[in-house]
Chain A
Amino acid sequence: MKKLVEIFAASAALTLLTLVPLRAAEDTLQVVKQRGYVKCGVSQGLPGFSNPDDKGNWNGIDVDLCRAVAAAVFGTDEKVKFTPLSAKERFTALQSGEVDLLARNTTWSMHRDTALGVDFTGVNYYDGQGFMVRAELGITSTKELDGASLCTNLGTTTELNAADYFRTHNMQYEMVAFEKADEAVSAYNTGRCDAYTTDQSALYAQRLKLTDPKAHIVLPQIISKEPLGPVVRQGDDQWGDIVRWSHNAMLNAEELGVTSSNVEAMKSSSNPSVKRLLGLDGSFGANMGISNNWAYHIIRTVGNYAETFERNVGKDTPLGIARGVNALWKDGGLQYAPPIR
């Protein structure tokens, strides 16, 4: 009798195992709507892009993009939760479903786009890699860095780009690569390295965390292209569209002069482009599975691209970054959104 019970128990366990589905539904929008909030992967603390304040509220350009996506899906930008991720685990977290999208100042590169099972949905910040050194060294160009020690983050494109740059210019260097960005900054701060290298926007941001920010300068040379953009899982085109067009909506809004303060008034505008943007014309939202006034909610809660830029990294913030290549195409920059029609 006991023998039979044991056999029965074992076979039951085996059958149960095979019943567990190997693939769950591939529909992020459904999952997000059911869950009630968007799960967004962000950095572990980069002022201007994604940084928690003392009370735990997140601010930054990437944070604003996540809030825009939440506003597009739910009508309010509150329904979003932020998960800080290190450089090593960011893609795994996205692939495994721990986060719905990654807005973590991630460089769009071919390897990442093709070999990791993820898709980039645009560029929300055009950046490049730069170097930060102590002002007292009197250096004005990266070509004077022969023999320097460089502090950087482990396993990023930064490490590779710096190596390539120094080789091409026949310069020696010592690479000290840390697992966490904070450790790299701390080591640079205490003088372990002569220069700290990462994306130029991050240099301005991390400079704020140094003991004496004024004693450090960011060298003007950019040694690589670093188009930073949001990332989603491959194979879910609908969700990818939502993220892509959330960013494009903010760009189009800036082009058309719609801001968070005048969006209500703009509802009665006669400009057909504005009407299409705010959902008063056409069913663009429904085509993506969300409400038609998705862009209206985005602009109402987050604002247009200019607003989010100026609020987080603009000239009135401690970072003080100019629009530069991130200006609209009309103003000589690279931000160009396809039309909403």
Chain B
Amino acid sequence: MSRRDALLQLLTLALVVAGVGWLIANVADNLDRQNIASGFGFLNERAGFGISQTLIDYDEDDNYRQVLIIGLLNTLLVSVLGIIFASILGFLLGVGRLSRNWLISKIAMVYIEIFRNVPLLLQIMFWYFGVLRNLPSPRQAINVGDVMFLSNRGFALPSVTFLDGAGSYGLALLAIIATAIGLRRRARKLFLTTGRMVAFWKPLGLVSVALLLAAGGLAGVPFEANIPALRGFNFRGGMSVIPEFVALLLALSLYTAAFIAEIVRAGILSVDQGQREAAAALGLSHNRALSLVVIPQSLRVIIPPLTSQYLNLTKNSSLAVAIAYPDIVSVFAGTTLTQVGQAIEIIFITMMVYLILSLLTSWAMNRYNARIALVGQS
């Protein structure tokens, strides 16, 4: 590096340091003048407000750290479910777009063009105020078999409480999964060495029944069903899915699915035509050729842009603040920020959370990408 470059770098650094120093001086001055507290001590203070959806126990006496965790869990819940639904729908649409059936292909195209070009916030509000408007009030809720109720307060579903002894069922379940993995490994090894294909459903079924019976013998039936019932204003008991969650999940899934569909389409089109012809020459039907030959190869092209769509979905879940879904932006960078007033610390924490989520998702997808990459191809 030449002396000139070194000098320029030092100057840039000096400028940046001076700039940041000036900003920090301003901030310190402003905070001091306005008597605003600083530091992260507020995390230990009592929150004092209620949250409409909490995946873990929470009441108003808990501190703001609990609020942060609950917001984070809500964000993760809607993001993970959104990724799953969007991927499924997106794949179906992408494949449908390439279907030989003209009607299916055109319908998929219309769906993609509509849902891609309308802003996500608009879609979220449409579903929320559209869903809200049309569902009946709890007193006239739609009744499904007397165990499930649909109203504008959400879906009231039956839930299961685990009593003492349910642990043995958990252990049994883990044992069944371990057995399944072991049996599958054995079957693969057998196939690779001898060429014999062995189905392992029968032994797996026998083992599962045996384990469950054992657990039942030990613990009885330690489950209790909670059926929701209308008491007063709302349904109590059971599990309740709030309409804000449904609207957000629906909008995120439908919106991101349109983008995933285009990525899947580009991925499938990128597979050489020769692969399809070879599969046809082998006598594979169109659908089997697609699922066994084309799509596995197209995954290499699909995964990188798919990763960025997953990241976008996670970030877009922050729009929950517009419809009162208690995600991290809504309860932490919304209510807590207004109550406590320490904007810098709170927004810093919120941004760090999203950055870490982005990094984790990228890392996980990159590992999957590396596994399916062609050896020798970069």
Contacts and interface: CB of A to CB of B under 8 A. Distances in A.
Contacts of B357: none
Given A92-B343, A176-B52, A178-B324, A14 B234 contact: no
Contact of B35 (A114, A154, A164): A114
Interface in B51-67: 51-52, 59-60
A148 interface: yes
Contact of B25 (A22, A162, A166): A22
What is the interface residue range for chain B against chain A? 35 or more
Interface string A257-301: 000000000000000000000000000000000000000000000
A6 B11 contact: yes
Contacts of B343: 92
B371 interface: no
Contacts of A36: none
A142 interface: no
Given A6-B8, A116-B35, A160-B339, A179 B322 contact: yes
Given A23-B29, A155-B334, A174-B234, A149 B153 contact: yes
A25 interface: no
A10 to B, nearest CB: 4
B37 interface: yes
A234 B152 contact: no
Contacts of B25: 22
A95 interface: yes
B232 A190 contact: no
Interface stretch (B12-20, B96-104, B306-314): B12-20
A156 interface: yes
A173 B50 CA distance: 8
Nearest to A10: B11
Contact of A22 (B29, B48, B49, B51): B29
A118 B33 CA distance: 10
A146 B335 contact: no
Given A155-B334, A173-B50, A190-B129, A91 B152 contact: no
A133 to B, nearest CB: 10
Nearest to A116: B341
B232 A146 contact: yes
Contacts of A213: none
A95 B231 contact: no
A159 B335 contact: yes
B48 A160 contact: yes
Nearest to A137: B233
Contacts of A114: 35
B254 to A, nearest CB: 21
Contact of A155 (B153, B234, B243, B337): B337
Given A22-B26, A179-B334, A191 B49 contact: no
Interface in A211-268: 233-235
Contacts of A14: 14-15, 18
A173 B59 CA distance: 11
A292 to B, nearest CB: 32
Given A87-B338, A148-B234, A159-B335, A17 B132 contact: no
B137 A191 contact: yes
A205 B343 CA distance: 31
A167 B335 CA distance: 19
The main secondary structure of chain B at its interface with chain A is: helix
B4 interface: yes
B282 interface: no
A114 B231 CA distance: 43
Contacts of B341: 91, 115-116
Contact of A163 (B4, B18, B60, B338): B60
Given A149-B153, A175-B49, A187-B324, A88 B34 contact: no
B321 to A, nearest CB: 6
Given A87-B338, A117-B35, A160-B49, A190 B133 contact: yes
Nearest to A148: B233
A175 B51 contact: yes
Nearest to B153: A149
Interface in A146-186: 146-149, 154-156, 159-160, 162-164, 166-167, 172-179, 183, 186
A95 B343 CA distance: 13
A232 to B, nearest CB: 12
Contacts of B8: 6
Nearest to B137: A191
B234 to A, nearest CB: 5
Contacts of B60: 163-164, 167
Interface string A181-209: 00100110011101000000000000000
A3 interface: yes
A235 B334 CA distance: 28
Contacts of A154: 321, 324, 330, 334-335, 338
A163 B50 contact: yes
B327 interface: no
B7 interface: yes
B4 A3 contact: yes
B182 to A, nearest CB: 46
A110 interface: no
27 contacts: A3-B4, A6-B7, A6-B11, A7-B7, A7-B11, A23-B33, A88-B334, A115-B37, A117-B33, A146-B232, A148-B233, A148-B234, A149-B234, A154-B324, A154-B335, A159-B49, A163-B50, A163-B60, A172-B236, A173-B50, A175-B49, A178-B324, A179-B334, A183-B322, A187-B132, A190-B152, A233-B34
Given A145-B233, A156-B338, A160-B48, 14 more contacts: A7-B7, A7-B11, A14-B15, A18-B22, A22-B25, A88-B338, A91-B341, A116-B34, A118-B34, A154-B334, A155-B334, A159-B50, A163-B48, A183-B324
Q: Which 8 A-B pairs have the closest CB atoms?
A: A117-B34, A155-B338, A175-B50, A147-B232, A148-B233, A10-B11, A117-B35, A155-B335
Interface of B: 4, 7-8, 11, 14-15, 18-19, 22, 25-26, 29-30, 33-37, 48-52, 59-60, 129, 132-133, 137, 152-153, 231-234, 236, 243-244, 321-324, 326, 330, 334-335, 337-339, 341, 343
